[in-house]
């Protein structure tokens, strides 16, 4: 049974306000950090180890998923001692294939669920969708919140739905996708974060990757600050997953600086932070090889699965 | 699981300061072994024959020798400025004058890296700030005022704006290049000529600006930059042929200047000290408010006349704000100003460090609780840990007197009226900050706070288009914006 966080439901109209100008300024300040030498190398390896390698397309097939799983375990065998990614992220129908392909590699299988990406389905279908993915072997569930209900002000509906999915997850860790690109303001992102954490989320996640804008540094910072306040309030650590739009290693390092200086070193591992990305890995690999050999290699030297 | 009590939890930031060094290269700048006085378009040896050393406050190493101008040197500079005014600058079509000022702005941008490096070496401020704030903002001031040059009649409709003549300008050590820009740009745009004295600790970027002005081919004598300490400044203030004094610095010196020019025809603007209140209400965006407080007091090591040095927090959010401030202190990087990751650099001089340390002792003696960031500071050079005082009362000296360092006092309040009264209960009135999500509260406070600048949900924002200046002992006259033109003009 999932542990109950707190015995009361807070008043979500009281979520702290976020100042747009201030949050954007603060987020841009992290990009001014100059990350060099061993700090850069450590950061790049850590970033690789935090990736949820993702494929979420209508045309996903067993072949595609198997190949991606191999990549997840063997990022670039020309460089010995590279970490694996944290997880692969697939549709429920592909969980079994991924689970089999990954074996005992330690790479987790994350499955989106709850009628991803729109979430426009009845609750019982969302619960079945989730239970199916867990039965197929998913270690982690990436659910979407009902943004329509949220924007209607039906916060209790959103809360109850997350709590119901958390229950359906069993031992699988639950990532709650807020789809920040549809929420419109930082205040709403903060409120949705608070609802998700209080309802039982293990992770909060920015985006499906299907809506633009996806993850941005300011929106991620709003969520990190919500996690920080929740930690001080309850003692419970919540993970963070920005997803979509992070494809360059330099940007990934900026995110890690932001994490390091907002939540501190306890969060600096893939238990508590993930990048949802499909093309970030190769850019990081390119930088890693540059650091090792002193020269950039062409993109054709890195596998594209 | 039961709700955990706040005080047992602590985020760990041990790794937050452990970034590999990222040093800016000193070779980006050339510093001569010795600098003379810039008078009448060329560098001239001082008639005093004296020079003084300028050092890098982060290493205590000597950087260069600077000429020490005496009264005769000042007289020479004023005569050159007067001649340039009569001969060239007043007669020149305004649009031509504007071209020179635009040229200076562009040349500052072209030499931005060199200027930033010298500013940091000479003054101790972090290279990130010199690079991202001081130098670009200085260029922006020249750009902005260049645009006004041929539009003065539109700035003051129905008037006939005429230049005053020769402006004597004395600037402080906290923003050496930027303050030079604040002073020189509006003076030139309004058709005045200039004798400017930088602070003796930080003359180098003003002298680099003199090189730029020479290269920009300004007519000789339009800008004269002479170096020296207090007696040089006094010689400028007391010179009979100066029409206007523009001073930025301490309130004590401001009062001396005020006395010295009493009964003369000299106009003056004085931009003096401050002890700004930064006010956090319980409905504020707390995380952004905390960040604003951090920037408000630790920007430029707190060597900012408008620094938000008095924090007032509404009692219902006091604990949360203090905890967040303490967490934030743990991620501030203190150290080598040339490292691109440094947040807080060196205190500008040994004297200033002594002053700050004196106030730290006073604060503890007064019974306030001192909390300092848990950070190692370099053994050489002048450094001070970022410091906050809690349990502070309005009657404490640390809450009344300007410390001009990285030291914040925190007091609590209960109601709007109470905090307005406390915030205004100071001889100063340069700036203030208000943090609340409620627009009507912002307008209520901004009309009642006796401060020249009131920031709402932000702090330490500067823009050439915006006027800046003080109430009460923070001085008078405005710099920046359209308002900054008037003090340099005879509006007849």
Contacting residues of A for B287, CB less than 8 Å apart: 16, 18, 22-23, 26, 225
Catalytic residue, chosen from B24, B44, B305, B306, is B305
Structure tokens at B445: 């406070």
- State whether ipTM is beyond 0.90: yes
Give the CATH superfamily of B274-456.
Aldehyde Dehydrogenase; Chain A, domain 2 (3.40.309.10)
CATH 3.20.20.70 applies to domain A14-299: yes
**A233 closest CB neighbour out of B3, B11, B15:** B3
- List, in sequence order, every residue forming a beta bridge with B268; answer none if it has no partner: B245
Comparing C-alpha atoms, which of B30, B24, B68 is closest to residue B49?
Answer: B68
Q: What is the pLDDT of residue A9?
A: 61
A10 or B81: whose pLDDT is higher? Answer: B81
Beta carbons of A49 and A85 less than 8 angstroms apart: yes
Task: Please identify every stretch of chain B with a pLDDT value under 70, giving residue numbers as ranges.
Answer: 1-8
Considering only the C-alpha atoms of chain A, give the largest distance between any 2 of them, rounded to a whole number of Å: 57
CA gap A283, A248 in Å, rounded:
6
Q: What is the pLDDT of residue A305?
A: 76
Q: Chain centroid to CA A90: how far?
A: 13
Q: What is the pLDDT of residue B363?
A: 98
CA A163, A164, A166 angle in degrees (round to 5)? 65
Q: What is the pLDDT of residue A6?
A: 53
Comparing C-alpha atoms, which of B200, B234, B240, B201 is closest to residue B70?
Answer: B234
pLDDT averaged over every residue in chain A: 95
Residue limits of CATH 3.40.309.10 in chain B: 274-456
Q: How far is CA B359 from CA B5, B76, B380, in A?
A: 35, 41, 21
Structure tokens at B213: 């002005």
Residue limits of CATH 3.40.605.10 in chain B: 26-272+472-490
Q: Chain centroid to CA B479: how far?
A: 12
Contacting residues of A for B21, CB less than 8 Å apart: 36
Q: Smallest CA–CA separation between B12 and chain A, in Å? A: 5
Whether B15 sits inside 8 A of A225 (CB atoms) is no
CA gap B149, B288 in Å, rounded:
39
Q: What is the pLDDT of residue A118?
A: 97
Whether A40 sits inside 8 A of B20 (CB atoms) is yes
SS3 assignment, position B312 = strand
HEC sequence for A255-295: HHHHHHHHCCHHHCCCCCECEEECCHHHHHHHHHHHHHHCC
Q: What is the pLDDT of residues A258-302, one digit of tens each?
A: 999 999 999 999 999 999 998 999 999 999 999 989 999 988 999
SS3 assignment, position A303 = coil
SS3 assignment, position B60 = coil
Q: Smallest CA–CA separation between B39 and chain A, in Å? A: 40
Q: Smallest CA–CA separation between B342 and chain A, in Å? A: 9
The model's pTM: 0.95
Q: Which residues contact A87 (CB under 8 A, 6 or more apart)?
A: A52, A53, A72, A107, A108, A109, A110, A139, A140, A274
Q: What is the pLDDT of residue A14?
A: 77
Whether A34 sits inside 8 A of B22 (CB atoms) is yes
CATH number, domain B26-272+472-490, options 3.40.605.10, 3.90.1210.10, 3.40.50.970, 3.40.50.300: 3.40.605.10
Cβ atoms < 10 Å from Cβ of A121: 14
CA gap B148, B102 in Å, rounded:
11
Q: Which residues contact A125 (CB under 8 A, 6 or more apart)?
A: A115
Q: What is the pLDDT of residues A76-132, one digit of tens each?
A: 998 888 999 999 999 999 999 999 999 999 999 999 999 999 999 999 999 999 999
Tokens 């970033």 identify what position? A47
Number of H helices, E strands in chain A: 12, 8
The H or E element that residue A69 is part of is helix A62-73
Chain B residues at the A interface, defined by Cβ less than 8 Å, are 1, 3-4, 6, 8-9, 11-16, 18-22, 128, 132, 283-289, 291-292, 323, 331, 340-341, 437, 457-458
Beta carbons of B469 and B452 less than 8 angstroms apart: yes
Comparing C-alpha atoms, which of B210, B223, B258 is closest to residue B237?
Answer: B258
Q: Are strands B42-44 and B37-39 parallel, antiparallel or unpaired?
A: antiparallel
CA gap B320, B322 in Å, rounded:
6
């Amino acid at each position: 049974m999932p542990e109950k966080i707190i015995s009361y439901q807070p008043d979500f109209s009281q979520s702290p306000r976020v100042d747009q100008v201030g949050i954007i300024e603060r987020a841009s300040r992290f990009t001014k950090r100059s990350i060099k030498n061993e700090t850069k190398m450590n950061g790049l390896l850590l970033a690789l180890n935090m990736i949820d390698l993702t494929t979420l397309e209508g045309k996903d097939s067993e072949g595609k998923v198997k190949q991606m799983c191999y990549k997840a375990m063997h990022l670039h065998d020309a460089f010995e001692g590279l970490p694996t990614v944290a997880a692969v992220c697939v549709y429920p129908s592909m969980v079994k294939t991924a689970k089999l392909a990954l074996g005992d590699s330690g790479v987790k299988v994350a499955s989106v669920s709850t009628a991803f990406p729109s979430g426009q389905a009845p609750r019982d279908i969302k619960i079945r969708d989730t239970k199916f993915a867990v039965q197929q072997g998913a270690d982690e569930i990436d659910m979407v919140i009902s943004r329509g209900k949220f924007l209607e002000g039906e916060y209790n509906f959103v809360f109850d739905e997350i709590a119901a999915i958390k229950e359906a997850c069993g031992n699988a860790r639950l990532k709650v996708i807020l789809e920040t690109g549809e929420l419109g303001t930082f205040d709403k992102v903060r409120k949705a974060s608070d609802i998700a954490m209080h309802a039982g989320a293990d992770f909060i996640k920015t985006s499906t990757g299907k809506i633009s804008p996806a993850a941005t540094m300011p929106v991620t910072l709003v969520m990190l600050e919500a996690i920080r306040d929740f930690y001080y309030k309850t003692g419970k650590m919540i993970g963070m997953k920005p997803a979509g739009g992070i494809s360059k290693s330099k940007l990934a390092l900026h995110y890690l600086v932001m994490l390091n200086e907002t939540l501190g070193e306890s969060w600096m591992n893939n238990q508590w932070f993930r990048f949802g990305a499909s093309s970030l890995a190769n850019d990081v690999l390119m930088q890693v090889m540059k650091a090792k050999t002193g020269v950039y290699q062409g993109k054709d030297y890195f596998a594209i699965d | 699981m039961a709700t955990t009590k706040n005080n047992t939890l602590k985020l760990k930031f041990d790794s937050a300061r452990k970034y590999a060094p990222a040093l800016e290269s000193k070779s980006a700048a050339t510093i001569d072994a010795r600098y003379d006085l810039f008078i009448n378009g060329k560098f001239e040896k001082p008639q005093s024959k004296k020079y003084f050393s300028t050092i890098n406050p982060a290493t205590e190493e000597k950087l260069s020798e600077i000429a020490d101008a005496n009264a005769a040197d000042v007289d020479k500079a004023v005569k050159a400025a007067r001649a340039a005014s009569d001969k060239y600058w007043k007669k020149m079509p305004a649009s031509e004058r504007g071209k020179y000022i635009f040229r200076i702005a562009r040349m500052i941008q072209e030499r931005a890296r060199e200027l930033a490096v010298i500013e940091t070496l000479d003054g101790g401020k972090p290279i990130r700030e010199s690079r991202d704030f001081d130098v670009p903002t200085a260029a922006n001031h020249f750009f902005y005022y260049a645009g006004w040059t041929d539009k003065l009649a539109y700035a003051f409709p129905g008037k006939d704006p005429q230049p005053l003549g020769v402006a004597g300008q004395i600037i402080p050590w906290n923003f050496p290049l930027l303050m030079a820009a604040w002073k020189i740009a509006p003076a030139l745009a309004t058709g005045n000529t200039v004798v400017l004295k930088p602070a003796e600790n930080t003359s180098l970027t003003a002298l680099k600006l003199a090189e730029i002005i020479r290269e920009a081919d300004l007519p000789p004598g339009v800008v004269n930059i002479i170096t020296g300490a207090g007696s040089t400044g006094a010689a400028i203030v007391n010179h009979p042929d100066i029409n206007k004094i523009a001073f930025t610095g301490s309130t004590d010196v401001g009062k001396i200047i005020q006395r010295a020019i009493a009964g003369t025809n000299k106009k003056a603007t004085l931009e003096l000290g401050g002890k700004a209140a930064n006010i956090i209400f319980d409905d504020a965006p707390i995380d952004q408010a905390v960040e604003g407080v951090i920037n408000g007091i630790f920007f430029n090591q707190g060597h900012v006349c408008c620094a938000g040095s008095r924090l007032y927090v509404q009692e219902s959010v006091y604990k949360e704000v203090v905890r967040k401030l303490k967490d934030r202190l743990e991620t501030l990087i203190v150290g080598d100003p040339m490292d691109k990751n440094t947040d807080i650099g060196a205190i500008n001089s040994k004297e200033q460090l002594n002053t700050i340390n004196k106030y730290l002792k006073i604060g503890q003696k007064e019974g306030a609780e001192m909390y300092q960031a848990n950070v190692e500071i370099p053994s050489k050079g002048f450094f001070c840990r970022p410091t906050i005082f809690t349990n502070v009362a309005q009657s404490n000296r640390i809450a009344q007197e300007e410390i001009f360092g990285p030291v914040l006092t925190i007091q609590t309040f209960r109601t709007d009226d109470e905090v307005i009264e406390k915030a205004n209960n100071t001889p100063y009135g340069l700036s203030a900050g208000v943090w609340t999500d409620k627009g009507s509260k912002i307008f209520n406070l901004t009309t009642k706070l006796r401060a020249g600048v009131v920031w709402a949900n932000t702090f330490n924002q500067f823009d050439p288009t915006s006027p800046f200046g003080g109430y009460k002992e923070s001085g008078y006259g405005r710099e920046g914006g359209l308002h900054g033109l008037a003090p340099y003009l005879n509006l007849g």
